[in-house]
Amino acid sequence: MSHTQKVKRIGVLTGGGDCPGLNAVIRAVTKSAISQHRLEVFGVADGFLGLIENRIRLLTFDDVSNILDRGGTILGTSNKANPAHFCTGNDPAGRPVFEDVTDRAVRHVKEHGLYALVVIGGDGTMSGAAHLIQRGLRIVGVPKTIDNDLMHTDVTFGFDTAVAIATDALDRIRTTASSHHRVMIVELMGRNAGWITLHAGAASGADVLLIPEIEYDLHKVCTRCADRSRRGRAYTLVAVSEGAKPIGGEMVVDRVVQESPDPIRLGGISEVLCEQIANRTKLECRATILGHVQRGGKPTAHDRVLATQFGHQAVELIMNGQYDRMVAVQDGRITSVPISDVADRQRLVPRDHPLVAACRATGATFGD
């Protein structure tokens, strides 16, 4: 029996945070598998949590119709469920108790007869996928994150949408900054990668861009704001990544989610900066945390197209027997890379990135 004859059923899941374009991938995987290869496709609810709890259902052609432009994920997702490090409750002192329940997840995949899994997610999800591969599952990954921080792919779907939303917000806040002669600080997502802030800041012409990869000098940031005010430019627009930090300082932590495999939640740097700049410069200053609006709503046309290409390519990799690989874009071409090369790694903004240089050349400062 040939390899393609062995493939009868595949599964698909979405892990980590929601992201514009997830439904477009689910649609492409399901429709490509059914129409081209006569496969059965099963959707796993809520990412790895659905594997652990055995919540897996058949997806039909109709189930994935008319979802191309829909935000979020029809399958649901979870950023707290890692089979290798799963919170099963609390001890008497209230501390979370973690167990390795990988065998349970693997058993459920086999019970449903799933020959392979398409796992859609970011670096954390790919790390979980790498662990499941070691336990014998056949997996193909699809890179998803608005942060654009996965290794070995030039872009991830969701990033273009997030940048468009962030740029629109910065454009809108600029008018308020100008009208009221204020320093306006907009905090953007990205964790400890500054891609969204770099691109949205460049697109909106932000005066100050603060990203995690380039530690800033608070004195230089304040000086730029004060200088603009003295030169008659009566406002300053600051775009700051949630993971930005001053030279020798730490990132601002919003909260710690103990039961999560990635417990640190960043947030609040804009409010800290707002108070510091106002106190030092005596300028009127306001902070806006854009938050989850960046990863909600309809994906852009670019992300729909990219997600469709990724989903189709994931099925082709399965049918060609190329497992344990993640679909990627390199030099404008769809390709694939080993998931092990992506797991537990993060693609950050190089200090000498051409867009950093372009922003500096056109008058922006990174506070360094």
Q: What is the pLDDT of residue 256?
A: 76
Buried b (16+ CB within 10 A) or exposed e, 201-211: bbbbbbbbbbb
Query: What is the dotted CATH code of the domain comprising 160-296?
Result: 3.40.50.460
Q: What is the pLDDT of residue 234?
A: 79
Q: What is the pLDDT of residue 350?
A: 96
Q: What is the pLDDT of residue 261?
A: 62
Identify residue 235 by its one-letter amino acid code. Answer: Y
Question: How does pLDDT run across 246-267, given as a tens digit for each residue?
Answer: 999 998 887 777 666 666 778 8
Mean pLDDT of 71-97: 88
- Six-digit token string for 338: 């080993």
Length of the chain: 368
Is pLDDT above 90 for 89?
no
- Six-digit token string for 188: 């953007």
Residue 348: closest CA among 191, 168, 217, 220: 191
Paired sense of beta strands 116-121 and 9-14, if any: parallel
Cα distance between residue 156 and residue 261, in whole Å: 22
Question: How does pLDDT run across 161-205, given as a tens digit for each residue?
Answer: 999 999 999 999 999 888 878 899 999 999 899 999 999 999 999
DSSP state of 252: P
Mean pLDDT of 71-83: 90
Q: Where are the domains of the chain?
A: 3-157+299-341, 160-296
Q: What is the pLDDT of residue 96?
A: 85
Identify residue 277 by its one-letter amino acid code. Answer: I
Q: What is the pLDDT of residue 260?
A: 66
Identify residue 167 by its one-letter amino acid code. Answer: T
DSSP string of 110-147?
HHTT-SEEEEEE-HHHHHHHHHHHHTT--EEEEEB-TT
- Six-digit token string for 112: 């449903």
Q: What is the pLDDT of residue 56?
A: 97
- Same topology between domain 3-157+299-341 and domain 160-296: yes
Is pLDDT above 70 for 151?
yes
pLDDT above 90: percentage of residues in the chain: 80
Query: Residues with catalytic annotation?
Result: 147
Beta strands, E only, the chain: 9-14, 40-44, 56-59, 86-90, 96-99, 116-121, 139-143, 183-188, 208-210, 236-241, 253-256, 264-266, 285-289, 325-330, 333-338
Distance of CA 243 to the CA centre of its chain: 14
Question: How does pLDDT run across 263-292, given as a tens digit for each residue?
Answer: 677 889 999 999 999 999 999 999 999 999
Confirm if 241 and 190 have CB atoms less than 8 A apart. yes
DSSP string of 313-352?
HHHHHHHTT--SEEEEEETTEEEEEEGGGTTT------TT
CA angle at 208 for the pair 347 and 224, rounded to the nearest 5°: 140
Looking at domain 3-157+299-341, its CATH architecture is 3-Layer(aba) Sandwich (3.40)
Mean pLDDT of 320-346: 94
